[in-house]
Amino acid sequence: MAEIKVTFIGHASFRFESEQSVTYFDAWFDDNPMADTTLAEVDRADLVIATHGHRDHIGDTYRLAKQTGATFVGNFELCLVAAEHGLPIGERALPMNPGGTVRVADLQVTMTQAHHSLSLAGHVLKGDLPENMVFHPDSAVSGFVLAYDNGITIYDTSDTCVFSDMQLIGQMHGPQIAIMPVGGKFTMGVREAARAASFIQPDIVIPCHYGETMGQPADIDALSEAVRFLSPNTKVVGLEPGQSMRYTSSSFAVEE
């Protein structure tokens, strides 16, 4: 039976496991105050995806890809930086732009738009910034749709506000699982995320990018209530760092 295991690493970092592959999404381990897993503990990855260059998303992605031999997927500019970290474009790094699709292992990865600020964390840059340069741009912030050969599809919106084309993304890709930020300070909050869920209409919404630790508290009970009203067939599943959910066809089970 088709199955995907989703593990919440912490903040906005996730691990997705199918019958054939392991994907890390916005992998941030060692400096992540919400993570209880270290980079050194990771022994397998087939695909590493980064949505943008902020420290809490680019995190440990390049080191993880090198450590495991995984393929890195991100926008073109992030792949240029990946090449500086020993991940040659076309071999170990696959560049994309919104609307594009690449295939890795048993899944098709499609990049979507998102709306968020741009900058590239200094810890992944090689060399010093030019004088008077405030930050290095990272090209674009993007969401991703992961369509597995087993028929299960995940849409991670990345850091974004709500936008009406989420309805189009939902119609085109039919994701059963949607992952979205709800912190309400640097991304959309509970009210906006509930409306996003009604646009996408997945079976499951997994909230992220929130919590007292990050200074972005969110009422997940209120989110569940709002989603129940706006998208009655969607269930909110809040995960603690290190906790997993197995989605099987149209069912799921939370694991301790």
Percentage of residues of the chain with pLDDT beyond 90: 84
pLDDT band at 104 (very low <50, low <70, confident <90, very high): very high
99 band by pLDDT with thresholds 50, 70 and 90? very high
Pairing of strands 204-208, 177-181: parallel
On average, the pLDDT of the chain sits at 93
How far apart, in whole angstroms, are the C-alpha atoms of residue 164 and residue 253? 30
Binning pLDDT at 50, 70 and 90, where does residue 119 land? confident
- Percent of the chain past pLDDT 70, that is, above it, reads 93
Task: State the Cα–Cα distance between residues 246 and 133, nearest whole angstrom.
Answer: 45
Structural domain count, the chain:
1
Query: What is the CATH number for 99?
Result: 3.60.15.10
- Both tokens of 205, joined, read 């919404």
Residue 46: how many CB atoms within 10 A of its CB? 19
Radius of gyration of the chain (CA): 17
Give the residue numbers spanning the domain of 159.
3-124+131-255
H or E segment to which residue 68 belongs: helix 61-68
CA distance 237 to 99: 28
Burial of 131 (0-12, 13-18, 19+ CB in 10 A): exposed
| pLDDT higher at 210 or 118 | 210
Average pLDDT over residues 109-119: 90
pLDDT tens per residue across span 42-88:
999 999 999 998 889 999 999 999 999 999 999 999 999 999 999 99
Tokens of 5: 């295991």
Residue 127: pLDDT band (50, 70, 90) is: low
Count of C-beta atoms within a 10 Å radius of residue 119: 15
Is residue 128 scored above 90 in pLDDT? no
Query: What average pLDDT does this structure show over 229-234?
Result: 97
Comparing 234 with 132, which gets the higher pLDDT? 234
Distance CA 140, CA 130 (A): 21
Give yes or no for residue 134 having a pLDDT over 60.
Answer: no
Q: What is the pLDDT of residues 144-194, one digit of tens each?
A: 999 999 999 999 999 999 999 999 999 999 999 999 999 999 999 999 999
